[in-house]
Every structure is written in C-alpha cells, then in structure tokens.
C-alpha cells in the first residue's frame, strides 16, 4: 500500500493538469483584488466579509467543478493510455490500488480547494490593509471543513472517473452532474419528503453552512463534520467495488 501511494504521489506531482489548474486559480486570486482599488467603498469592506461571502461562496464552485478536470486526466486517462493495466498487473490488490489513487487524488483536489482561502484571502488582506481579519479559529475551522468536503466530493468524482474510461467523457459528465445535481435534488425535495431529507443531509447542502460555523453547535456540528467523512467512505467503497469488477484493457 505504501509503495502504491508513493507511486501515485509521484504521478500527481508530475501531473501537468494539476499545475495548470493551480496556476490559473492563483493568477485569478492575485489579480481579482486589484478591482478593489476601483471600489469607492473599499474602506468599508472588511476581510472577514469578503472571506465569508466572496471567497467561501466562490469556493463552492471551485471544489465541485475544477477537480473534475483533474479526475479526468489523473484517473480516467490512465485507462485509455494503458497505464492502469500496468498498475493492476503489479500484483497489488485492486482495493489497495483504488484507495491509494483516491487518497492521492483527494490531496490534489484539496490543494485546488485551498487556493482561494489561502492565496485569495492573503491578497485581499493586503489590499484592504488587514481591515477586519477573520479570527484564527474561524479561519482554521472553515479551512478544515473545506478539506473534508473537498475529499467527499473527490470520492464521488473518483467513482465517476472510474466508470468513464475516457477523460473527455468523464470531465463532461462530471461537470454536468455537479452543476445540476443539487438544483435537481432541491427541486425534488419540494415535492417528495424523502428527497428533502436526502438534500438536507447531503454534502451539497451542508457545504454551504461552512461560512456560519461559529453559529453551529451540538448535533448540527456533529452532522457538519461526520457527513462528509461518511460520504467519503461510502463512495470510496462503491468506487473500489466498481474497480474490482471492471474489465481493464
């Protein structure tokens, strides 16, 4: 298992799609705060407000869409070019291979998810002269939860990337799915109570509560932390089952 993880980590570090995505997001994070210069009300904006509304809100789309591209190139393309066949022939169990790839892919997704909270926040703080910074505990809580929810989304993406063995089809399907699925679930929840329960306890809904973590306590806090972990485990197991039964050419 250790050697498989090391091999996957080496491939992730050399993955051009990851570095391209990170570079684009970092450039956006560094250039967007320049718009603050032209905002006449910039003196009244606090870093906390910007972090809560713009950065965490915008990161909702980043963690659901950008890692789909990485999944297509890091996982699906290995089936098309024959790399996966060589990995399976190495003698390691398929469950071991799948979870090693899922864990390393999740790290790549988390690196993508951290660009806005870290780089964007740092750039905005400089432009706003560190006016109204979020507290360290709030910042650490939101970043930690962002990592948890990114891993949960990554486990779903890894499953789809295993089902679709071509990067183009995998990326197209996943972008379509993650753009529309929560809206579809929300619409169905207005008509059928069972979907209301599913939507209320889904990572799609709970991720939006990260920004108000300081007001969440008790059972709600437990749910906010436990559900992404449970989602990661469930979809990790489902993905490994699909991978075990998959014919790899």
pLDDT in tens, 119-164: 989 988 888 888 888 899 999 999 999 999 999 999 999 999 988 8
- What is the sign, positive or negative, of the torsion defined by CA atoms of 7, 12, 15, 19? negative
Q: Taking a C-beta distance cutoff of 8 angstroms, is the pair 136, 49 a contact?
A: no
Sequence-separated (6 or more) residues with CB below 8 Å from residue 151: 106, 109, 110, 228, 232
This prediction's pTM: 0.90
39 pLDDT above the threshold of 70: no
- What is the sign, positive or negative, of the torsion defined by CA atoms of 207, 212, 213, 216? negative
Q: For 156-191, what is each residue's pLDDT tens digit?
A: 999 999 888 788 888 999 998 988 888 888 888 888
| Closest C-alpha among 115, 119, 16, 116 to residue 72 | 16
| Closest C-alpha among 72, 62, 66 to residue 171 | 72
37 pLDDT above the threshold of 70: no
Q: Taking a C-beta distance cutoff of 8 angstroms, is the pair 97, 4 a contact?
A: yes
> What is the model's pLDDT at position 43?
67
Backbone angles phi, psi at 81, to 5 degrees: -95, 0
pLDDT band of 86, cuts 50, 70, 90: confident
CA distance 30 to 243: 40
- To 10 degrees, what angle do helices 56-71 and 136-163 make? 30
∠ Cα 234 237 240 (to 5°): 150
- To 10 degrees, what angle do helices 2-13 and 94-115 make? 40
Q: Residue 243: how many CA atoms within 13 Å on its side-chain side?
A: 29
Distances from the Cα of 140 to the Cαs of 43, 114, 135, 208, 223, in angstroms? 26, 12, 9, 16, 18
Distances from the Cα of 28 to the Cαs of 56, 67, 80, 104, 181, in angstroms? 15, 17, 32, 25, 27
40 pLDDT above the threshold of 80: no
38 pLDDT above the threshold of 70: no
Sequence-separated (6 or more) residues with CB below 8 Å from residue 109: 63, 67, 70, 150, 151, 153, 154, 157
Average model confidence (pLDDT) for the chain?
A: 87
> What is the model's pLDDT at position 126?
86
Distances from the Cα of 74 to the Cαs of 2, 9, 27, 40, 122, in angstroms? 19, 11, 23, 44, 29
């Amino acid at each position: 298992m250790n050697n498989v993880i090391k091999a996957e980590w080496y491939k992730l570090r050399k993955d051009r799609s990851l570095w391209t995505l990170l570079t684009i997001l970092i450039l956006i994070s560094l250039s967007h705060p320049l718009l603050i210069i032209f905002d006449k009300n910039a003196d009244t904006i606090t870093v906390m407000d910007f972090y809560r509304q713009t950065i965490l809100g915008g990161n909702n789309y980043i963690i659901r869409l950008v890692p789909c591209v990485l999944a297509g190139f890091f996982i699906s393309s290995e089936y098309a070019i024959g790399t996966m066949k060589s990995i399976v022939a190495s003698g390691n169990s398929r469950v071991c291979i799948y979870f090693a790839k899922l864990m390393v892919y999740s790290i790549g997704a988390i690196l993508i998810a951290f660009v806005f909270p870290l780089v964007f926040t740092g750039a905005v703080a400089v432009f706003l002269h560190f006016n109204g910074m979020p507290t360290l505990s709030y910042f650490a809580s939101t970043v930690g939860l962002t990592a948890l929810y990114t891993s949960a989304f990554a486990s779903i993406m890894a499953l789809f990337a295993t089902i679709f063995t071509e990067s183009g089809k995998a990326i197209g399907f996943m972008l379509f799915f993650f753009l529309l699925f929560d809206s579809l679930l929300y619409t169905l929840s207005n008509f059928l109570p069972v979907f209301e329960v599913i939507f209320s306890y889904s990572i799609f809904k709970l991720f939006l509560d990260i920004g108000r973590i300081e007001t969440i306590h008790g059972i709600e806090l437990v749910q906010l932390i436990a559900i992404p972990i449970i989602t990661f485990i469930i979809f990790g197991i489902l993905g490994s089952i699909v991978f075990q039964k998959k014919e790899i050419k």
